[in-house]
Amino acid sequence: MSAGFLRFGSLPFAVLLVILAAPSGSSQDRKVVKITAERFTFTPSQIKVKRGTVIEFRLRSDDTNHGFKIVGSDANLIIPKRGRGEATLIFRAEMPGRYTFECSKVCGAGHSFMRGEIIVEDQE
């Protein structure tokens, strides 16, 4: 598996996962990325990481339910409504390239504009 993700309904599971998935001595970088979803944008919408980084996405909404789907995979979860907490997703960026993510739950007239990308750069 060249890149991977894990999804959880709550933060404690994700914290545990990071403990489990990265035994001491691992060379993987870890990065927490907080994304706010709002009609009709993700902020930030472009995330750049080095190959091998484990990204912990923490996703929250400023209005309604949104989806967070990484295109081409079955990574697809619902971001809770405003004030209802956050969703967490772990993504291992092990293959260089551009990964598109988008809102997968119709959220209004401009739903189709809600997209972003993860840019995985080769280590130099």
Q: Using CB under 8 A as the criterion, which residues of the chain lie in contact with other proteins when the complex forms? A: 1-8, 10, 12-13, 15-17, 19-21, 23-24, 36, 39-41, 43-46, 61-65, 70-75, 81-84, 91-92, 95-100, 105-113, 115-117, 120
Q: Tokens at residue 105, please?
A: 């739950």
Nearest to 94 by CA among 56, 51, 59: 51
How far apart are CB 124 and other proteins at their closest, in Å?
19
State which residue, 108 or 123, has the beta carbon closest to other proteins. Answer: 108
State which residue, 100 or 123, has the beta carbon closest to other proteins. Answer: 100
Nearest to 64 by CA among 97, 93, 36, 99: 36
Tell me the C-alpha distance between 39 and 61, whole Å. 9
